[in-house]
Amino acid sequence: MKKIVNFLFPHFTCLACDGEINVSKHSYICDVCFEKFIVCNPARASGQLALSKKIAPNSKAVKVSYIYSPFYYAPPLSDIILKLKYANEGLVAKLFAPLMVSVLDKSYDVVIPIPLSKGRERERGFNQAMILARDVGSLIEIPVMENILVKIKNTAPQVNMSHEERLDNQKDSYSVIDTEQVKDKRIILVDDVLTSGATANECARILKRAGAKMVSIVTIARVKPSKDKEINII
């Protein structure tokens, strides 16, 4: 019954607390829950400054130009993102895609979702980054390349991995199907959450090796560093 109500009246049930929305400034979520989101201010971070300590001592190893995220990853937002990741809750994308676009520079040529392995996508039945990318691309009116960047190696779950283990886990996991499609392009990658940045940086490395001019990433949220100076927002 709840799923039927959510389908028929999506604006009246909060994605975070499942409570009834009587009056709200936002679609799909009540004002009380929205006020609990931790805003990234400002929302744009330099990839070099944010990831250099995590990716490698040599900053040249960082291939992500910018990181865009409207929020930090924490409850109740993290609970909502899990609905997108594991329950194919399309309304989550409808809620957050406009907020992601609102913090994004309008200087990109193409949108590319962070790919899942074929096995993982078959298991879930969808790719949450793809769902977000389609909405982001539609809102900023640039093409979405869904099958250009592919995952070619099954990687282990990274939840309990160190930064070094994540880097090794992601190395050589991706490939570009048609290099001509990305050559000289300014690419914005899309994913739900940025944690260590290992996945995003490996995708950016492969895309730049294939000829991409610039690669950045936009996510719903990013993990807040233990010290703000480590991410050095610009």
Q: What is the C-alpha to C-alpha distance for residues 116 and 118, in angstroms, rounded to an integer? A: 6
Instruction: Please state the pTM of the whole predicted model.
Output: 0.84
Least Cα distance to 114 among 98, 97, 131 occurs for: 131
Q: What is the C-alpha to C-alpha distance for residues 42 and 164, in angstroms, rounded to an integer? A: 28
* pLDDT value at residue 140: 95
Which two three-digit tokens encode residue 112? 């590319």
* pLDDT value at residue 119: 63
* pLDDT value at residue 76: 94
* pLDDT value at residue 88: 62
* pLDDT value at residue 108: 97
Q: What is the pLDDT along the chain (234 residues), one digit of tens a residue?
A: 444 444 444 557 888 888 888 777 787 889 999 999 999 988 999 998 888 776 655 667 899 999 999 999 999 999 999 887 777 667 888 889 999 999 999 889 999 999 987 766 666 677 889 999 999 999 999 999 998 999 886 655 545 555 555 555 556 679 999 999 999 999 999 999 998 888 999 999 999 999 999 999 999 999 987 654 434 333
Strand, coil or helix: 214: strand
Ordered DSSP codes for 145-156: -SSSEEE-S---
Q: Does residue 48 contact residue 37 with C-beta atoms inside 8 Å?
A: no
Which two three-digit tokens encode residue 127? 């790719």
Which bin fits 88, alpha (ψ -120 to 50), beta or left (φ > 0)? Answer: left
According to DSSP, the residues that pair with 45 across neighbouring strands are: 67, 233
